[in-house]
Amino acid sequence: MSFWDWVYRYFEGLGKYILRMYPNLSSDIRRSGMHLYPEVYASFMAFMSILISGVTVVLTILFAAMKMYIIIPFLVPIPFLAYIFLAYLPALIGSSRAGGIEGEFPYTTAYLSMMVMSGLSPYVAFERITHASKVFTKTAELSQRFILLVRVLGRDPLTAFSMLAQRTPSPTARDLLMGYVTTVRAGGDVADYLNKKARLLFSELIVRMKIIADRLAGLLEAYLALVLLSLISLAVMYFVTVSFVSAVPFGLSPASLFLVLYILIPMISGMIIYLTDVTQYKEPWIDYRPYIMFGGLTLPLSFFLVFFGMLFPAILPPGHPFRSNILVSETYDFLVYPAKIFNLPAYTYSSVALSMILIIATLPTTIYTEIISREYKVITGITRFLRDLVEIRKTGLSPERSIIELSRRNYGVFTKYLRKIALQLSLGIPLSRIIQELFKKIIVWRAKVLLFVLTDTIEVGGGSVEIMEHLAWFAESVDAIEDEKKKNLRTLLIVPYMGGILTAATVIMLAVFMGSLQFGAGGSYIQAASTTLPAIVINTYLMGLVAGKVSSGSVAAGFKHAILLTFFTLIFFLASPLLTTMLGGVTQPVT
């Protein structure tokens, strides 16, 4: 007896009761792609709830016996939270699956319309998506299920499409499939329906870009107000409290300020990145290379510089042999060199060193990200190529010969790939085989979609002028969506920059100015400034990541913005003595 059989056998009654409590659970399970019967999953919910409740009771008794009463309130809600999580887990999985299908389906619809216009029946065209599992990853699962229903279980195609529509979590896919069934039963033109549906989906994508930009603008305004008010007001209150400690009987404690500056505000920045990711339109692929570079180089280099350039010189006594080691001493001297040159107060050394560390460690990843981002321009070249391919096909040349003729022209990044395609075509290698090999070198998902559709269009319909015209429109629509996305989101870039620059300038100048005054010369103020100012550097760096995510849809695009904002912060540190002089403060550094 398997685990699922055992669960269903002993918890079937409780499972049926749970299904009555959650009538939508069955449909959520079907749409999530979980290969379980609703009764079995509900029985599993009952089993896990009982198991977690029993473990929680045992732990509660154990901690009560050890008189660790403070932990017990955190244990009590665990069974309830686990039950709620299991109840909504299928809906969460279905939502994630729907997002992937929604990102692919406008392109899938355009592909189906061209296949039907080329002469294939909609059933065969839908089955061909299975061969494109590397391109249409999520939609290929629907195609495989369609083949299972028709060829294995013996359902007729219209019934299979209806069953798929009921099981898919994507409203767009459900609407398309049910619309197709209705069109066939009414005797309508399927090719015209798919063509118009594809154009409608692309038009809706462009409109959605504008709506997303408006939503992100409101989100960023709230983020800017929250971060500015929190960082500036709390820092000012803390500096005033420490400086006038004899006259101010109240104020922030160091622990409270540490919690806000180093935990709460970075968590808010992370939440903004997550909400932006949820709000933005996403393609069903992620380029992980910048993140691999960040994790493999930036993070280890940052930890190395922090330990040898900041931590060890701060915690070790001056005469310690490890502190006098050439690696530690030279690293520390290099990181604080700008602060010494500009005669900054000693309590700013750690912040200047941290700024140097973040800039140095992130710079290689930023350069690497900018280099590989040039590959994304291949879309523009493919779009121009497809438009020229339509025009040259009107002269009567075959698609293969037209590709060879166009290889003499310049299409930017796509030129090197096109010339390789033309060379292999002239040697008699099939186009489909060439494109499959090319997929290993081209990483941009939209480029793969266009090349795959071009290949299938030529193989199925011979690449007629009408079909190629439709393909060129498809490529131009893809390019227009990307342009609309950049145009609407680029303007939002100013909000994180404004927040980072204003925060850094205000807090740094205030800290150095108050530190230059006589009542700021005490050890408590130096300790307060040494605690607060590095948090400004960290939060400014995170604002750069937010700027990249908002303006380009990728956290990797924020590495350059993080470096720029951190560099501005460093400039404010170096320029702070000049402002102190202008305001009439004492220019001697506090040590």
Q: How far apart are CA 424 and CA 362, in angstroms?
A: 41
Confidence of residue 581 (pLDDT cuts 50, 70, 90): low
For 31, the token pair is 């749409």
Between 5-14, 233-242, 334-343, the lowest mean confidence (pLDDT) is in 233-242
Average pLDDT over residues 26-39: 83
Helices vs. strands in the chain: H and E counts, helices first: 27, 0
In a 13 Å sphere around the CA of 547, the CA atoms on its Cβ side amount to 25
In a 13 Å sphere around the CA of 579, the CA atoms on its Cβ side amount to 18
Asked if 109 contacts 197 with a C-beta cutoff of 8 angstroms, the reply is yes
Tell whether the model's pLDDT for residue 281 goes beyond 80: no
Confidence of residue 489 (pLDDT cuts 50, 70, 90): confident
**Can you give the pLDDT at residue 472?**
86
Spatial CA neighbour of 550 closest among 316, 221, 248? 221
Is the pTM higher than 0.95? The answer reads no
**Can you give the pLDDT at residue 76?**
85
Better-predicted residue by pLDDT, 369 or 471: 369
Q: How far apart are CA 418 and CA 412, in angstroms?
A: 10
Asked if 527 contacts 346 with a C-beta cutoff of 8 angstroms, the reply is no
- Count the residues in the chain: 591
Q: In the chain, what are the domain boundaries? A: 3-97, 102-200, 376-481
Q: How far apart are CA 359 and CA 450, in angstroms?
A: 38
Maximum C-alpha span of the chain: 92
- Cα end-to-end distance, the chain, whole Å: 74
Q: How far apart are CA 347 and CA 573, in angstroms?
A: 11
Confidence of residue 586 (pLDDT cuts 50, 70, 90): very low
Q: How far apart are CA 511 and CA 215, in angstroms?
A: 36
Kindly report the number of other CB atoms within 10 A of residue 221's CB atom.
12
Q: How far apart are CA 307 and CA 297, in angstroms?
A: 16
Average pLDDT over residues 258-262: 85
Asked if 521 contacts 590 with a C-beta cutoff of 8 angstroms, the reply is yes
Outline where 427-522 has alpha helix (H): 431-438, 445-461, 465-490, 494-516
Tell whether the model's pLDDT for residue 193 goes beyond 80: yes
**Can you give the pLDDT at residue 560?**
93
Asked if 158 contacts 186 with a C-beta cutoff of 8 angstroms, the reply is no
Contacts of 231 (CB under 8 A, 6+ apart): 261, 265, 503, 507, 536, 539
Q: Is 77 exposed, middle or buried, given 0-12, 13-18 or 19+ CB atoms closer than 10 A?
A: exposed
For 453, the token pair is 């559709």
Tell whether the model's pLDDT for residue 3 goes beyond 90: no
